[in-house]
Amino acid sequence: MKNKTFVTDYHRVVKVLNSCNTDVQISVAENYFNLFLKKWSDKLTEQNYLTMVYHYTKLKNDKTLNFFKLKK
């Protein structure tokens, strides 16, 4: 069995977000991200936590913006 780290799990969260094709899927991906944060909250440093939240939020906003551009 692989030794899981928060980095491995975070990469999976980002992969799920990148595979989203609808607003509903993005919402589900956000729930998945929140579960990730809950799972690792006691092991993440504040800096790691803030960096991941910032990075994920930026990716999610970019993905959402692309949906709005495609709908026009």
**What's the confidence (pLDDT) of residue 62?**
93
Q: What is the pLDDT of residues 26-66, one digit of tens each?
A: 999 999 999 999 999 999 999 999 999 999 999 999 999 88
Q: What angle do CA 64, 69, 72 make, to 5 degrees?
A: 130
Residue type, 51: T
11 Cβ contact list (under 8 Å, min separation 6): none
pTM of the model: 0.86
Instruction: Reply yes or no on whether the pLDDT at 2 is more than 80.
Output: no
Q: Is 19 exposed, middle or buried (0-12, 13-18, 19+ CB in 10 A)?
A: exposed
For 66, the enclosing helix (H) or strand (E) is helix 46-71
